């Protein structure tokens, strides 16, 4: 995998978010399930990061389940 600069990733992420807002604003306006929005965002991220595998449902780091420590 390539090492991407912070600026490169930021620019591509903004492009993907802009596409989401342009094409799928109704999802946000209608307060749909978070998974619906993350799926559409993943589609746009896949376009701008073509050589990476974007998976909005991936919840592991190898064999370890990712967890958040929330209050």
The residue extents of the domains of the chain are: 1-49
Phi, psi angle pair for 25, to nearest 5°: -60, -30
Looking at the predicted structure, is the pLDDT value of residue 59 above 70?
no
Six-digit token pair at 13? Answer: 């992420």
Record the pTM. Answer: 0.74
Is 10's pLDDT higher than 90? Answer: yes
Q: Residue 1 pLDDT more than 90?
A: no
> What is the CA 53 to chain-centroid distance, rounded?
11
Q: What pLDDT is attached to residue 60?
A: 67
Q: Is the pLDDT of residue 58 over 70?
A: no
Percent of the chain scoring above 90 in pLDDT: 51
Q: Rounded distance, CA 64 to CA 27, Å?
A: 32
Mark 25-34 as b/e (b = at least 16 C-beta within 10 Å). eebeeeeeee
Position 23 scores a pLDDT of 97
Distance (Å, whole) CA 52 – CA 45 = 9
């Amino acid at each position: 995998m390539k090492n991407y600069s912070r600026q490169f990733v930021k620019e591509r992420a903004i492009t993907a978010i802009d596409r989401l807002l342009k094409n799928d604003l109704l999802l946000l306006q209608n307060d749909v399930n978070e998974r619906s929005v993350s799926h559409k965002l993943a589609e746009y991220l896949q376009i701008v990061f073509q050589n990476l595998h974007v998976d909005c449902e991936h919840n592991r780091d190898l064999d370890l389940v990712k967890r958040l420590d929330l209050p």
